[in-house]
Every structure is written in C-alpha cells, then in structure tokens.
A = this chain, B = another copy of it.
Amino acid sequence: MTPITKLFNIQYPIIQGGMIWCSGRRLAAAVSNAGGLGLIGSGSMTPDILREHIKKCKNATDKPFGVNIPLLFPHAEEFINIIIEEGVKIVFTSAGNPGKYTSYLKDKGLIVVHVIANVKFAKKAEEAGVDAIVAEGFEAGGHNGREETTTLVLVPLIKQSVTIPVIAAGGIGSGRGMLAAMSLGADGVQIGSRFVCSEESSAHPDFKRKILEAKDGDTMLSLKKLVSVRLLKNKFFFEVEKKEHEGASAEELSEILGRGRARKGMFEGDLDEGELEIGQVSSIINEIKTAKEIVEEIMSEYHFAKNEVSGLNF
C-alpha cells in the first residue's frame, strides 16, 4: 500500500490522466477495472454529456473512478454540481484556483486532488485542503506550466514543500518512468499520453497512429503568449511557430487559434489543421493496446527495473 492506493482504494498507484477528447467513460472504466484509477476528462464535454459518461461509467465498473474538471472552463460550477448529484467520489481539479471549490467539495465528502506545476500552487492547494497533489512537469502533453520545470526536478521540490501525497505526472509512460517517479519520492503516477494510445481512448484513430510515429523533438510547447500547450508538430503548429518567431501578439495568436482546434485534431482526426495535444513520451509509444494490457505492461516493467536497480552495488 502507498498513500495513494489507500486514498483511492485501488490496487496500483497509477492514475489515468483526465484528457480532453481522449478520456471518456470507456477509458476511465477500463483503467479502473485494470486496478488503476480512471478519470473522465470533462474539459471537452457539455453538462449533459458529462452526466451520461458518469452514468455509463458507474455501470461499467464497480471500482473507484473520478472526474477531472478544469476550473477555468465555463461549465466548471455546473460540472461540480453534476458530479455531486451523480455520487462521484473523486475529483481532480486543474487549471484554476484550488481555493474556489475545494472546501465545498470536501464538505460533500469528495476526495479532491489538484494539479499543479509549481511550488506556489502546491502550497495553495494544500492550504485549500486538497487530499493530494498532481505535480505535472514540462514534458506533459496539453496545457503546461509557465515555469517549464521538468518532472525530474519538480517532484522532489514539491515533496519537500507539502506534507500531503504527491502524484508525479509528465513524461511517464512505462514501468521505468514509474519507478523513476517513485524514486523521486512520488506516492503515485498520473499517466496521460500512454492511455491516449489505448483501444478504449476516444482519440481519433489517425491521431493515435500519428502518435505511434512520433520521434524525439516531434512535440513542442506552443502558444506561450496565450497559454502554454504541448502539441505534436503539424501544419497548424508550424503556422503558429512562424508567427511567434515574428513576434506575434497574444491577440494575433488567439485569432489564428480560433475555436474548436482541439476537437478538430484529436477527435475528428484532422492532422493538419487540428491541435494535437500529446506529451514528449509519445516518442517511446509504439503500439496501441488495451488499457488493461498497458497497466499490466507498466507494472511488469516496473518490477523488472526495480529488481535490476536492486542488483546494482556501488
């Protein structure tokens, strides 16, 4: 048992990150059934769709699962009421102020975890009363901290800054990555990109295939003047890069971005014009598997690497 397996009552300290357009109830239920913690990513849903996903997830697993809510999204408050009404027991909040809803959620009996990328927000989240923190490094896909602190540096720093359990995220997609995170003092790991390339993820098949082909250097932080986001390089990425290189303002970038780019890329499979959010760890992902196979593979590599490191004597 680790503080994280105990907190969520799960077998392995593996949390599947809540991701827009990729992690609906199918993926969440599959990860929970495999012994991890599945999260429904609400960021790309309407209130009705979120409710439907929660209902179906409850039917698909008797294991604990949770919902991720980006607090800055327009529907955040409505989403919070829905998860309470539907009896969801675990919520991961991100992209916003942890002080806003944490005590309300705690009063309703939920386990609350907040995602941070720096020491300041880790302390803020602890003060707000969350049960655990996700410390997410620079290599993670999607939205990303301004400090650009990598997981290797961030995790020990956050561990020494707070007393609540810390879940490492960013750059972890294998058993070795998980063992590295636990070595840094993490109490568990959150894995996103690896689960995008699962059978059960709702990512478009063409997006999944593009991830399998990704090499090192094929993702990069983009749109830093708006809100940093790690994207797979494609036509849209290079357009933005060119404009950024020329010193485009936040307003100009916002206009280029427009609306619906993430849906277009990740859900509809428009590999040229869409936003393709994925982490650096895409460079080591080579196969689409079921969520269960992914969890088993991670745990098996974790134990193999742990034995290997145990055998080193110096």
Contacts and interface: CB of A to CB of B under 8 A. Distances in A.
Interface stretch (A25-33, A64-72, A173-181): A173-181
A101 to B, nearest CB: 25
Q: For A5, A12, A247, which residue has the most chain B Cβ atoms within 10 angstroms?
A: A247
A interface SS class: loop
A150 B305 CA distance: 20
For the complex of A and B, the 6 pairs showing the least CB-CB separation, nearest first, are A247-B247, A147-B217, A180-B180, A152-B171, A179-B183, A150-B150
Contact of A146 (B12, B119, B148, B217): B217
A32 B13 CA distance: 40
A235 interface: no
Given A183-B180, A247-B246, A280 B153 contact: yes
A8 to B, nearest CB: 12
Contacts of A237: none
B179 A309 contact: yes
A142 to B, nearest CB: 15
For chain A, the bracket of interface size reads 35 or more
Interface in A90-141: 118-119, 137-139
Contacts of A281: 153
Interface in A35-68: none
Contact of A139 (B150, B220, B247): B150
23 contacts: A1-B314, A12-B314, A118-B217, A137-B152, A139-B150, A139-B153, A148-B217, A148-B220, A148-B280, A149-B283, A150-B150, A150-B151, A150-B152, A151-B152, A152-B177, A153-B283, A156-B284, A179-B309, A180-B180, A180-B183, A245-B247, A247-B248, A306-B309
Interface string A12-31: 11000000000000000000
A223 interface: no
Contacts of A210: none
Nearest to A224: B245
A81 interface: no
B176 A283 contact: no
Given A179-B183, A246-B247, 18 more contacts: A1-B314, A11-B314, A119-B215, A137-B152, A138-B150, A139-B150, A139-B152, A139-B153, A152-B180, A153-B281, A153-B283, A153-B284, A176-B183, A176-B184, A177-B184, A179-B184, A180-B184, A183-B306
